Amino acid sequence: MDSLFAIGSGKTMSPKARDGLSKTPFLRTSNVFWDEIDLTELDYMEISADELRNKRLHPGDLLVCEGGEIGRSAIWSGQVETISFQNHLHRLRPHRADVDPRFYVYFFQAAFTQLGIFEGAGNKTTIPNLSRNRLGALEVPHPPVREQVGIADALAFVRNGVRKEESIVRTAQELKQATMRELFTQGLRGEGQKETEIGLVPASWGVSRFENVREWLQYGTSVQCNSIPAKFPTLRIPNVEAAFVNVSDLKYCELPKEVADKYLLLNGDLLFIRTNGVRERLGKCAVYSDNPPNALFASYLIRARLLTKKVVPRYAAYFFSSELGTELVAGGATPAADGKFNLNTGAIDSILLPVPPTLDEQQDIVEILEAIDQKIGLHNRRKTILQELFQTLLHKLMTGEVLVSDLDLSAFEIAPTVEATI
């Protein structure tokens, strides 16, 4: 590496630098991810003008983490005009014209996360670290610069697709929350509003305690579950998402039929999380829709069976996943000695729910929100496909199994801009 790059050391934080008057922003290892610089939280310290001349970042500098996830790398692209870096990062600046630093970001990602070819490169002190000397001594491939550029461009193309999909999902999720705010305060019928205990709702709507719209509430089974497939899949906290059951991580149990029947879920049952370290997580509840079939529910969940002539189950679940609904559910939680928050059936029964006068209006609201959820699901699936493609390409390109000259990514449509998809 040191035949390709000049390796610079960052500034060490000290109480004097921390308390200095004229401070400069600097990057830490927590700002550097694989092929990405996160500027959400910047730290500052005093760096003299003389020292800053040697410790200032320039666009195109390659940053490599010394500790933490050693080798994690990204390119600084000049988002902040004057910025430095801490001593737990190495700055690599090419001193040859035939070096594309982006190629080495991707090579390091393959080497450290897939290929294991630098195992033992980190010093084994109390915290594993990659010293400047060890980094400089690493033997790395050096293909012709045209090939470096081609490989970096191909991987950046796919990674850019992942980022676009992530951006679309974030925007759609924000749209969903804004839509829920409007639907649950203004409805769909263009009517006036009235003030209630939970704020403004359409004039024709009622506000009901949850106990008045449900048949019964029940705690789940405490039987031990495991990942070995058995007769009864058992839904747990990880399976509960806003309005939907996530079946990606199922556990199973065996129970006598007469016991299992007590916890057997039926289509339309609501599942509340009753204990969690994050208070707002308690506001999420899922609707069981016969998937997986023959499912039970675990003891950290509470099952609610609704009076379906009064409330559409998914309407209730969407309300509880809205900002207001989450706030109302979390408000009924009580702190426990272990730092978690708990819900009981009494707290759930006391939650207030805005109720449109007809099931048709409730279902219309559900269909609008389901359309947005379908959009979110589509782009999450696209993101997953592109992430898998990136990992495959990273391995194949860095091992020579695929040559960049033989690569054709035209079949992979990268998402258009966010505004065009919402």
Cα 379 vs. chain centroid, distance in angstroms? Answer: 14
Sequence-distant (6+) residues with CB within 8 A of 272 are: 240, 282, 285, 301, 302, 303, 304, 329, 343, 348
Residue 212 has pLDDT above 50, yes or no: yes
- In this prediction, residue 127 carries a pLDDT of 63
DSSP H helical segments within 223-303, as ranges?
Answer: 257-263
Token pair belonging to 192: 């006036």
Please indicate whether the domains covering 5-142 and 144-188+357-422 agree at the CATH topology level: no
Give the span between the Cα atoms of 42 and 84, in whole angstroms.
11
Residue 264 one-letter amino acid: L
Give the span between the Cα atoms of 142 and 328, in whole angstroms.
59
Residue 202 one-letter amino acid: P
In the CATH scheme, what architecture does the domain 206-355 have? Alpha-Beta Complex (3.90)
pLDDT tens digits for 215-248? 999 999 999 999 999 999 999 999 999 889 999 8
The answer to whether 273 and 240 are in contact (CB under 8 A) is: yes
User: Once rounded to an integer, what is the mean pLDDT over residues 116-120?
Assistant: 81
Element (H or E) spanning 178, and its range? helix 145-186
Give the span between the Cα atoms of 419 and 319, in whole angstroms.
26
The answer to whether 34 and 105 are in contact (CB under 8 A) is: yes
Domain ranges for the chain: 5-142, 144-188+357-422, 206-355
pLDDT tens digits for 332-355? 889 888 888 999 999 999 999 999
- In this prediction, residue 3 carries a pLDDT of 96
Residue 419 has pLDDT above 50, yes or no: no
Give the span between the Cα atoms of 349 and 287, in whole angstroms.
17
Q: What is the dotted CATH code of the domain comprising 5-142?
A: 3.90.220.20
Token pair belonging to 163: 């980022």
Give the span between the Cα atoms of 181 and 366, in whole angstroms.
13
Length of the chain: 422
- In this prediction, residue 126 carries a pLDDT of 62
Q: Which fold has domain 144-188+357-422?
A: Helix Hairpins (1.10.287)
Give me the percent of the chain exceeding a pLDDT of 70: 96
Question: Where does residue 268 fall: left (phi above 0), alpha (psi -120 to 50 degrees), or beta otherwise?
Answer: left
